[in-house]
Structure 1
Amino acid sequence: MKSTNLQSLTTDFFEALYRENPDPWQFATSEYEAKKYATTLNSLPRDRYQSAFEIGGSIGIFTEQLASKCESLLSVDVSTIAQEQAKHRCQHLSHVDFQIMSVPDEFPDTSFDLIVLSEVGYYWCWDDFYKAQNLMLDRLKPQGHLEIVHWIVDARVLPLTGDLVHDSFLELVPNRLAHLHSLTTDKYRLDLFEKL
């Protein structure tokens, strides 16, 4: 079912969240997150990517790990509070660039051979999701990889669910994307695509 009255979550929502708790999802301490990050990184088929784009880098835990596979990495988030932590955590990584950016209203002009969308898609309403999806496909280089990872347990009311996000990308196979890899656990889904 693709109908919802909920709007995309706002920058103010995330700023308030990080103001109350600098690590609201326990990215730095959760064993679940550590295992998910390792699986996400190990699922990438290439050892190195020339240019990568991470949407929703948060406090930079996965950003620091992803950087090991990238010649250059752009990590964006809507929260200045979260990104200050990320910048501090990754200050030793000169090839990582950080920008405050509200996707899909803002999006880089450059192209990438890897785009990572992790735990972000369900915060958008359908209109914003489709806009973001089209921008990602437009900015992804041919044979570039798109990796998406989302929590699939409905813990609270969000505009979309993780399953809806992933199913919507699978609908683009085989016309616009090739589906390379899929993993579903009791808590999250991971799908890896390649642009045709």
Structure 2
Amino acid sequence: MSVTTPYFDQMFAGNDDPWAFRQRWYEQRKRAVSLAVLTRAHYASIFEPGCANGELSADLAARCDRLLCCDTASAAVTLAKKRLAGFSNVLVEQRRLPEQWPSEQFELIVLSELCYYLDAADLERLIDRCLEALAENGQLLACHWRAPIEGCPQTAEQVHALLHQRLRLHAVVRHHEEDFLLDLWSRDSASVARLEGLR
């Protein structure tokens, strides 16, 4: 069974940064690596489900015309709205995925520290929604912590293996460390140099 919303509500009870996104160098560096692997300086539209308190969202907002981010926990949505209040191109909503998937198309979908909370059936549904929502030039970025998480139905390895299998997109970047897995898939296989006409 996928992890339920009350689990995340409890995480945010009395704590506006339960994973220490702002304090830990690990988290700061992981965000920097995630942003660095993106092959485009700018995206027309980005979707970030599971945005938590909006730390990564703020970086993504600076890289796009329109950012939609969401979380299942109401406290996370409130915190993200506060964190992102200065960005006119951002919309923060409360959604439970994969059931409440948005109807828009996106050039980039970011699945950061989200998918191991889903069981295999829900993750398959979420991947299918991602494929339907990816624009013709769409990309998908996934990043997940490798250590076991109590109560999570899947590991990072299981998540990224299923993503790779079901997406059937070009694997543009594969950055795997002891602590986390980071992969970027794209409908287009062109490298950054090729996109800039250097090759």
TM-score, structure 2 as length reference: 0.91
* Aligned equivalent of 2:77, options 72, 83, 86: 83
Q: CA RMSD in A?
A: 1.1
The alpha carbon displacement at 1:20 in A equals 4.1
Match of 1:3 in 2: none
Match of 1:134 in 2: 128
Counting only pairs closer than 5 Å after superposition, residues 1-196 of structure 1 correspond to structure 2 as 7-172=1-166, 176-195=168-187
Q: Report the AA paired with residue 118 of structure 2.
A: W
The alpha carbon displacement at 1:170 in A equals 1.7
Counterparts of 1:100 and 1:14 in 2: how far apart (Å)?
12
Q: Report the AA paired with residue 114 of structure 1.
A: L
Match of 2:197 in 1: none
Task: Describe the superposition over 1:43-92 as per-residue Cα deviations: whole angstroms up to 9, x where unpaired.
Answer: 10001100110010000000001111110000010011011111111101
Identity %: 32
Counterparts of 1:179 and 1:143 in 2: how far apart (Å)?
14
TM-score, structure 1 as length reference: 0.93
Task: Describe the superposition over 1:109-158 as per-residue Cα deviations: whole angstroms up to 9, x where unpaired.
Answer: 01001000000000001111000010001110122110000001114241
Contact 1:142–1:195 at 8 Å: present in 2 too?
Answer: yes
Counterparts of 2:84 and 2:47 in 1: how far apart (Å)?
15
SS in 2 for 1:131: helix
Q: Which ranges of structure 1 fall in alignment gaps of 5 or more residues?
A: 1-6
SS in 1 for 2:183: strand
Q: Which ranges of structure 2 fall in alignment gaps of 5 or more residues?
A: 189-199
Counterparts of 2:60 and 2:16 in 1: how far apart (Å)?
21
SS in 2 for 1:99: strand
Contact 2:98–2:129 at 8 Å: present in 1 too?
Answer: yes
Q: Report the AA paired with residue 186 of structure 1.
A: E
Q: Report the AA paired with residue 185 of structure 2.
A: F
Q: Report the AA paired with residue 83 of structure 1.
A: V
